Structure 1
Amino acid sequence: MFDITAYAATFIFLLLGVIVYRGPQNFAKCWLHLRSLKSPQRATTVPGLDPSDPVVIFPLDRKGNLDEIEDAGSLQQFLANLHAEYGDIASFYFTDQLCISIKSPELFQEHRTAFTKPYILFKLLEPLFTKESIVYAEESDVRKRRELTNRCFGFQALQNFIEIFNEITEHLVEKISSLPPGEHIPLNETCLGLSLKMIMLTVSGEYFKDDKTSTEFKKTYDLVWNEIESRFAGDIPPEGSGRIKTFKEAKEILFSFFGRIINNRRCNPPSDERAVFIDVLIKSDYQSEVLLADLETYLNGGFHASGYLFAWALFFLAEHDDIQEKLYNHVIDIVGKTGPVSMEHVAKMTLQ
């Protein structure tokens, strides 16, 4: 299992560079297609759930189907239940927002050109991302910014990172292998930590290559993110509270990290073929506020999406021994039992 974990980690992060890492505007694309409505009472021909809460005077007070999502235990399980009852396309309400969830790949093809996402998806992230972030920009501006940076995460660009990806995953496998038999391994924490280190390298270069810098950054980031997660759970702090002060102080430290990264890359510019996301932003003469906002947005979106995808992939592999064995043999046939994963290996991985 340790061998396949190393291969899976490297492969998943390379794959994410082509698929998940296409930009923050695509965070929710694989799950939901949302349409903004002035009123949640507007009829839809799509089968699904009506809002479960009573009629309220102020639309912002509406919970929609949040109670059902909570009862299901997760959005993933809620959507699985929803589609089991209503079919490949189904509707539900997220507060006062009508949401259309698409399960069928064929139906999803009809909506693959969807580009921007509703503000509601990122509303609670604005204190962290700031209003200058790409997720709050007008569509014309988003397209310009995406055209500028998309190449940083393509298959070709990721060749620059294959060596360090192998190094990081092999280090993790050695660490796990040294644990006593039966030792608990926190899946989410491990996958998010691995993801953060890899995403920091692809976004900002080798500034975070050493463990000390990564650990210091992660400690500050966790303070900020824990507050954001509390707000997602409905625990909004009052203005002037101690939580607001702690959040702002931690955010200032976080953005000071970004400032040091930017100064480092400006003083030590890489060659064009080794340029990463931050170098492209610097050369484009982004305003400092926009540069900082997009750096935080891509870092946050990239490592959360990657880390949770990795965690779920390992979770489901652990639940299905037959698929795990099939995948293991597929990787061994291509890579062998030892040795690093190459981009040529990844291109041959077509298991279905």
Structure 2
Amino acid sequence: MLDFVIFAVTFVVILVGAVLYLPAVSIQCLLFYRDGNLQDIVNKGSLHEFLVGLHEQFGSVASFWFGRRPVVSLGSVDQLRQHINPNRTTDSFETMLKSLLGYQSGTGMAVTEALMRKKVYEGAINKTLDKNFPLLLKLVEELVGKWESYPESQHTPICAHLLGLAMKAVTQMAMGARFADDAEVIRFRKNHEAIWSEIGKGFLDGSLEKSYSRKACYASALAEMESVLKSVIKENSGRGSNQLTFMDSLLQAKLSERQIMEESMVFTLAGCVITANLCIWAVHFLSVSETVQEKLHQELTDVLGDEPVSLDKIPQLRYCQQVLSETVRAAKLTPIAARLQEVEGKVDGHVIPKETLVIYALGVVLQDADTWTLPYRFDPDRFTDESVMKSFSLLGFSGNQACPELRFAYTVAAVLLSALVQKLRLHRVEGQVVESRYELVTRPKDDTWITVRQSKMI
């Protein structure tokens, strides 16, 4: 996330041509020194972990320094509620990712164009799920069938398997049958990993700028992926197909080739990572909670019987939705978001000048004991409380405010959990310690292992 911060601050300086400042009396902050807090962030291991300490020391509204320029961080539901309400014209996650890729984000467009692009993008994702649901179900059932064939003693690496599922689902649903070829998916995955690894780390610690070879590798991967996307656009343009993909929907909306390429890049990059890690963390948490598995199995039996899940049945799986919401919260799936302050504003009386970069410390908020009872416990039942669900929706993790990629991921994960829990029992591997790596999207530091056996739940 620091990569976006550095880019955004630099962008603002170039655009506005002025040094940003916060009145010293407005917001408590770390003392300034020449290099700001970059080394502190690196020492903590991630921007999220730095923000945890920052808010513990200075409270829910604080600022810190990049060079000579401050950034404001908001670390509680109340402060986010005050700030988010007038700043909903663009999606903060999409804005960050487009900025990192050097694409035009909503903050660089006219309001009308930004809203139009957002509507087209979200509509394309919804159509993709609707028209390609049988394909998604097929991919999930293939994976579950493979797991069913494993002996009970076999350790299954869920990160590798579920990243593969996400890659296949996103590429085929976004770009079509060309990516039914494993060689195309492998090529995509290679470039995806080269790009995403630098977005998650290389910008964060400044090491990318210091390494010519890594910069060249990153630029090459980005150029190759853009080239692939453009070639698929040309293949699909003007050609009828029984499959309506994400890219087809953008073509129907009459976007330019450049716009389609950028939107497809964002969806395939973010869609793969968010979907994979939501599935990974959900399976992990189920494997350590027999009670949650039993409750989910009972709901699946009540709603689906022995039938596979369908798109119209997913909204009826209320407990499954609670499991996924609690997974997002407990894993701190997207721990940070950010916006540029469009107009001068106030949070709890603290002045935030126009064009200030404001970070939403979502990972801090999701573990805040004032908002969540026993925040470090995995407890899907907490989402039966309407006030809890409202707080969660406010943060952009459900309902209309959820980022489109997360809504896509919820659907894929619901299909996966339905198929898995109908047929299998999931068990953690004894002695395994699962640690988190906090980047744009939180993932396990190492692959996570489970064992499976045939379900005998009643």
Q: 1:99 aligns with which of 70, 73, 76?
A: 73
Secondary structure of the 1:131 match is coil
User: Could you tell me which residue of structure 2 aligns to residue 252 of structure 1?
Assistant: 223
Pairing of 1:295-334 with structure 2 (within 5 A): 295-334=264-303
- State the percentage of identical aligned residues: 18
CA distance in 2 between partners of 1:345 and 1:190 (Å): 26
Please state if 1:153 is matched with 2:125: yes
Change (3 A) 1:216 1:322: same
Q: Which of residues 230, 248, 263 is equivalent to 1:294?
A: 263
CA–CA separation in structure 1 for the residues paired with 2:155 and 2:79: 37
> Aligned in 2, Cα 1:300/1:106: closer, same or farther, shift over 3 Å?
closer
Aligned-partner Cα distance in 2 for 1:105–1:326: 35
- Residue number in structure 1 paired with 2:318: 350
Q: Does 1:216 align with 2:190?
A: no
Match of 2:20 in 1: 38
- Equivalent of 2:170, from 199, 219, 223? 199
What are structure 2's unaligned runs of at least 5 residues?
1-12, 14-18, 320-383, 385-458
What is residue 140 of structure 1 aligned with on the other side?
A: 112
Q: 1:230 to 1:105 in 2, by over 3 A?
A: closer
Partner residue, 1:242: 213
Count matched residues: 300
Contact 1:201 1:209 in 2 (8 A): yes
Counting strand residues as a fraction of each chain, which structure ranks higher?
2
Letter in 2 for 1:168: L
Q: Is the 8 A contact 1:65 1:94 kept in 2?
A: no
Match of 2:37 among 62, 65, 68: 62
Q: Does the 8 A contact of 1:335 with 1:341 survive in 2?
A: yes
Higher alpha-carbon deviation: 187-196 or 326-335? 187-196
Q: Is the Cα contact below 8 Å between 2:159 and 2:280 reproduced in 1? A: yes
2:194/2:218 contact within 8 Å kept: yes
1:290 to 1:159, Cα distance in 2 relative to 1, 3 A: closer
Q: Do the aligned partners of residues 212 and 335 (structure 1) sit closer, same or farther apart at CA in structure 2, a change above 3 Å counting? A: farther
How do 1:58-97 residues align onto structure 2 when only pairs under 5 Å count? 61-63=36-38, 66=41, 70=45, 75=48, 91=62, 93=64, 95=66, 96-97=70-71
What's the offset of the Cα at 1:289?
2.5
1:249/1:209 CA distance change after superposition, 3 Å: same
- Partner residue, 2:331: none
Q: Alignment RMSD, CA only?
A: 3.9
Q: Which has the larger share of helix?
A: 1
Shift of 1:350: 1.7
The structure-2 alpha-carbon separation of the partners of 1:313 and 1:240, relative to structure 1 and needing over 3 Å to count, comes to closer
- Does the C-alpha gap of structure 1 residues 347 and 74 become closer, same or farther in structure 2, counting only changes over 3 Å? same
Q: Which shows bigger deviation, 166-175 or 281-290?
A: 281-290
Change (3 A) 1:80 1:99: closer
| Contact 1:92/1:99, CA 8 A, preserved across alignment | yes
Q: 1:84 to 1:146 in 2, by over 3 A?
A: same
**What is the CA-CA distance between 1:133 and the residue it aligns to?**
5.2
SS of equivalent residue, structure 1 residue 191: helix
* 2: CA distance, partners of 1:50 / 1:120: 28
CA deviations over 1:31-76 (Å, ceiling 9, x no partner): xxxxx9933665557xxx743xx42246xx3339736853xx783x
Residue 142 to residue 39, structure 1, CA distance change in 2 (3 Å): same
Residues 97-131 of structure 1: per-residue CA shift (max 9 Å, x gap): 211134479958973862336799737x646x333
Cα 1:284–1:153 shift into 2, 3 Å: closer
- Whether the 8 Å CA contact 1:83–1:103 is kept in 2: the answer is no
Query: 1:232: how far off?
Result: 3.7
Q: 1:280 & 1:204 partners in 2: Cα distance?
A: 10
Q: Any conservation in 2 of the 1:64–1:94 contact (CA below 8 Å)?
A: no
- Closer/same/farther in 2, CA of residues 224 and 84 from structure 1, 3 Å limit: closer
Tell me if structure 2 keeps the 8 A contact 1:90–1:101. Answer: yes
Deviations 1:155-210 (A, max 9, x none): x6523222111111111112223344444433333333222222223322333233
- Corresponding residue number in structure 1 for 2:372: none
- Contact in 1 for aligned 2:61/2:72 (Cα 8 Å): no
State the 1:223 CA deviation: 2.4
Task: Say yes or no: does 1:178 pair with 2:149.
Answer: yes
What SS is found at the alignment partner of 2:138?
Answer: helix
**Counterpart Cα distance in 2 of 1:120 and 1:344:** 28
Q: Which amino acid aligns with 2:180?
A: K
Alignment-derived partner of residue 304 in structure 2: 335
Match of 1:131 among 64, 84, 103: 103
Look up the equivalent residue of 1:122 and give its one-letter code: M
Structure 2: which amino acid aligns with 1:311? I
Assess if the C-alpha contact under 8 Å between 2:179 and 2:185 holds in 1.
yes
SS of 1:344's partner is coil
Q: Which runs of 5+ in 1 are unaligned?
A: 1-35
